[in-house]
Amino acid sequence: MTQDCRAIGASPETTRSVRRQFATQLSIERTRLLYQGSLLPTLFMLLNGLLCAWLLWSPGRYLLVGVWLAWLLALVALRVIQVAAFEAATAVRQAKSTWRRMFLFGSAFSGLTLASAAIALAPVENFVQQAWAFGLLGAAALSASVAYAVSLPAFLSFALPCLLPPIVFLFIHDAGQQRGWGWLGLIALGALMVVAWQVNRLIERGLLRRFQNQALIEHLQSAQRLGEDLNHQLSGEIRQRRQAEDELRQAHAGLEQRVAQRSHELDLANQALSKSEQRLALALEASELGLWDWNLETDEVHHTQLQALFGLDADRVRTVRADLKPRMHPDDLALLRRTLVEHLKGRSEDYRVEYRVRHAQGHWCWIEDRGRAVERDGAGKVLRMLGTRRDITAQKEQEEQQRLAATVFEAASEGIAILDAEFQLLAVNQAFCDVTGHGRAELIARNALELPCSRDARRHSQVIDQALEQQGRWQGELVEARKNGELYPQWLQLNSVRDARGKIVNIVGFFTDLSARRESEERLRYLAHYDELTGLANRALFRLRLHEAAQRIRLNGRSLALLHVDLDRFKLLNESLGHELADQLLKKMAQRLANAVPEADTVARLSGDEFAVLFDGYTNLSSLVRVTTRLLDKLRVPQRVGGHEVVISASVGISLLSDANFDLNMLVSQADMAKQHAKHLGGDNFQFYTESLRASTLERLQLENQLRKAIDEGQLLVYYQPKLCLRTGQLHAAEALVRWQHPEWGMVPPSEFIGLAEETGLIAPMGEFVLRQACWQACEWLRQGMEVRVSVNLSVYQLRQGKLVSLVRQVLQESGLVPHLLELELTESQLIDSVEHIIVTFEQLHGLGVKLAIDDFGTGYSSLSYLKRFPVDYVKIDQAFIRGLLEGSQDAAITRAIIAMAKSLQLKVVAEGVETLEQLAFLREHGCDEVQGYLISRPVDAAAFEVLLQQPRTRWEA
């Protein structure tokens, strides 16, 4: 502290250090000085404000000057109250930062109040009043700035709001006189800031000196008190030392007498001790024990046999903690410490512990320490211990080998038995008991060959004895019995143990239960040829049986038929019921299939829901037809699975192995083609393979390849069939239809490729192509002034993909077509597939503003429920009802009912397939909204459609 005081003003770094040390005291003291020095400037500001108001009091300024004067009086009153509150507060409350912030706010408001008088009250045209006003305000600012200079933030919070606004105000006016006042005010503000800075430095230095002096005084007082305490302690220690010297002299005199007496006794004891040590050394050397003597107070220890035990010289191990403890095994330290503490506390009569010590050669050796506390002080604390130690490494290794052998013996998965030379059981492990079912008490001391579980071994006893005597071992497979009489296969191995004279003293037997291995082999053999779920032959066994049947046919000329069976719509059931119930259903169907054709040579499961039935030697085709018909009838019988009643039909393809063709792969392929044809016809039927079917299949495959090529090479076209609005008689809508212009085949009818596209999944890219072309064309017509609503047909495949909404949104954005000019149609019969998903998709499309329609209405299922649940705008009456309007009353009644029902639901009705004026008149009479058909126009390309739009349609008027 003294050095800090001498360093005041010596260097900036020292000054900053002192300022940081007394930062809190400086802040509190500045706040107190600000409040103490603010009263006089506040009153002076009030006086100047009154004089300024008196000078500026004029008839035109009564209200403005009065308001300003009232605000000044209120502000001065608040400042006086604030100073009084600060003076009344305790020192702890005065130290809070709130007082400082309140003072800064007050000074800022005071400065702004004076500045407002200079700007708003002093008239610019009256030089005298302006000079008086600025002079009085400058005097008030000067007095307050000097008083607030104790804190630069306080000075700036008052000076800047007070002087800077008037200076800026004077510079704004163009008059030269005002600019002069502005420059004068700017110089005055700079001078005030310099003065405030100097005053602040002087005050801060004075405060720093005062706090340092105060701290120095406190430090000197503390040092004085410390010196007085040290003097008192020194006096007491001098008195104690004199007293201790007197007592020491008295004790020294008595000690000399006792030393002389004890010296003679010690000589006699040393002689006896020397003889005793010699005898003890001989005994320890004979017993290979090392002696240790441990002084617990000094930690010194004396050893014997240290070289023999640890390979160390006695000079290298003088203390326990420093020399011996680092050589001990870390895992044994806790046990050693716990055992030693127990003995030192008197809880054990003897100290005995086993631990490991690193030998001088680097290996670990086991040591056994035995000892006892032989000397304690008056409080019972042990001062000395004596004991012995010996090397038990060989014993520990033997115990470890025995423990390991016992563990292996018990943990072995094979049954192990140890016998004597007469086959008496000496020991068995747990595996032996687990396999045979006998307990240890039933086996020990009994002859192994006389046990009920050794019947097969007794039959081979002579061979076993001869092999053990000549070769020392025997092994072989036996069939033995458990305690409960169960037979099991066993692999037995016997080994003889001979003594030093070569005589057999023990026999060690190992045996393994082969039951699990036999079961695994049987299981693997079964799984290699049979289906695990249904129990039928698998594909591998089917191929083997097919090959064997073909070989028999070559030899005896018998006939061979193959049935390829595929369950209809099983994939849909699998998705609906779940895999577990579907597997149960598949097992039941496989059982039905096997029971339905008992005369079949082989019934196999090829994959999933596909099966194969092989007939080796059928009599004629009529019998084969009867068998197949019976098979289909039994398969379609309803059955219950998981609480559901399910009806499953099948599609069957039949191929025959002819004398001219023995190609088995061709036989399987032909059956598969016949099965595919049966499924194409709707399922629940059987079809024979024919050459025409093969040609049809090849033609269909070729058509599929050409269709893929047509999509990639742009062979598809979009035609438009007009729709007539019966209310206006105008063509205002069209249905977009895809056409295929093949470069060689010409125009391919839609009936030949639409179904194929749906089966192969090509309907998705085809539908996207039609959607894009229709939207672009409708947008082009709209730009030409022709507003045409285009309708595009959807497929269930597009809905299943889950990308329809995003695709429609993207196409509308790219083409720029308004959504209400796009109409999407879905056939009613397709709505039964994933109804909930289709409803969600339709709601999203409807939200985009796209029009929706149900096509072929009246031909599907649950029509009323669809109209209620689906957010559709149009209902299209199927052309089957339109064709029969004039032929009978039923089609007319159905048509009228559909129109009335749609009208009641506020839906529009479109009739398709209109070909006569009579049909048109009937539909107009009963309120149909739109019609399409050959009467209006066939599907045409975009150019021809534009021509139709421009032609008059008066012949359709009523």
Query: pLDDT digit string (tens) for 432-441?
Result: 888 887 877 7
pLDDT category at 446 given cuts 50, 70, 90 is confident
Kind plus residue range of the DSSP H or E element containing 462: helix 461-470
d(CA 368, CA 390): 5
What is the DSSP secondary-structure string of 689-752? --HHHHHHHHHHHHHHHHHHHHHHHT-EEEEEEEEEETTT--EEEEEEEEEEEETTTEEEPHHH
Query: pLDDT digit string (tens) for 578-614?
Result: 788 888 888 888 898 889 888 888 899 988 889 999 8
Residue carrying structure tokens 């009838």? 633
Q: Are 561 and 689 in contact (CB under 8 A)?
A: no
Query: pLDDT digit string (tens) for 185-241?
Result: 677 777 777 777 767 677 767 666 766 676 677 777 777 788 777 878 887 778 888
Query: pLDDT digit string (tens) for 654-675?
Result: 888 765 456 778 888 888 888 8
Both tokens of 526, joined, read 């079964």
- Residues 537-542, mean pLDDT to the nearest whole number: 88
- How many angstroms separate the Cα of 668 from the Cα of each of 540, 566, 590, 663? 14, 14, 20, 9
How far does CA 426 lie from the centroid of its chain? 59
pLDDT of res. 130: 65
Neighbour tally for 511: CB within 10 Å: 23
Q: Are 383 and 297 in contact (CB under 8 A)?
A: yes
Q: What is the DSSP letter of 149?
A: G
Kind plus residue range of the DSSP H or E element containing 497: strand 487-498
pLDDT of res. 1: 40
For a pLDDT cut of 90, what percent of the chain falls above it? 7
- Residues 131-158, mean pLDDT to the nearest whole number: 71
- Residues 712-733, mean pLDDT to the nearest whole number: 88
d(CA 694, CA 879): 35
pLDDT category at 9 given cuts 50, 70, 90 is very low
pLDDT of res. 8: 41
Query: pLDDT digit string (tens) for 750-773?
Result: 877 777 677 777 778 888 889 999
Q: Are 35 and 148 in contact (CB under 8 A)?
A: no
605: which residues sit within 8 A by CB, 6+ positions away? 531, 533, 534, 536, 537, 538, 539, 590, 611
Q: Is 846 exposed, middle or buried (0-12, 13-18, 19+ CB in 10 A)?
A: middle
- Residues 691-711, mean pLDDT to the nearest whole number: 67
pLDDT of res. 777: 92
pLDDT category at 6 given cuts 50, 70, 90 is very low
Most confident by average pLDDT, 65-74, 90-99, 628-637, 708-717: 628-637
d(CA 375, CA 217): 60
Query: pLDDT digit string (tens) for 27-36?
Result: 676 677 677 6
d(CA 634, CA 597): 10
Most confident by average pLDDT, 106-120, 646-660, 720-734: 720-734
For a pLDDT cut of 70, what percent of the chain falls above it? 79
Q: Is it the case that residue 4 has pLDDT exceeding 50?
A: no
Closest by Cα among 111, 113, 134, 125 to 51 = 134
pLDDT of res. 708: 82
pLDDT category at 532 given cuts 50, 70, 90 is confident
Q: Are 717 and 940 in contact (CB under 8 A)?
A: no
Strand partners, 427: 418
- Residues 732-748, mean pLDDT to the nearest whole number: 86
d(CA 627, CA 176): 126
Q: How many residues does the chain have?
A: 958
d(CA 636, CA 639): 9
d(CA 740, CA 743): 9
What is the DSSP secondary-structure string of 413-455? SSEEEEEETT-BEEEE-HHHHHHH---HHHHTTSBGGGSGGGH
Greater confidence, 123 or 382?
382
Query: pLDDT digit string (tens) for 35-92?
Result: 766 666 777 677 766 777 676 666 666 777 777 777 777 777 777 777 777 777 766 6
pLDDT of res. 2: 40
Query: pLDDT digit string (tens) for 280-332?
Result: 556 555 556 778 888 888 888 887 777 777 777 777 777 877 778 888 888 88
Residue 123 identity: P
Most confident by average pLDDT, 132-141, 714-723, 795-804, 864-873: 714-723
Q: Is it the case that residue 839 has pLDDT exceeding 90?
A: no
pLDDT of res. 227: 75
Rg of the chain over CA atoms, in angstroms? 58
Most confident by average pLDDT, 360-364, 415-419, 573-577, 813-817: 813-817
Q: Is it the case that residue 176 has pLDDT exceeding 60?
A: no
Mean pLDDT estimate for the chain: 78
Helices 62-88 and 97-116, interaxial angle, to 10°? 160
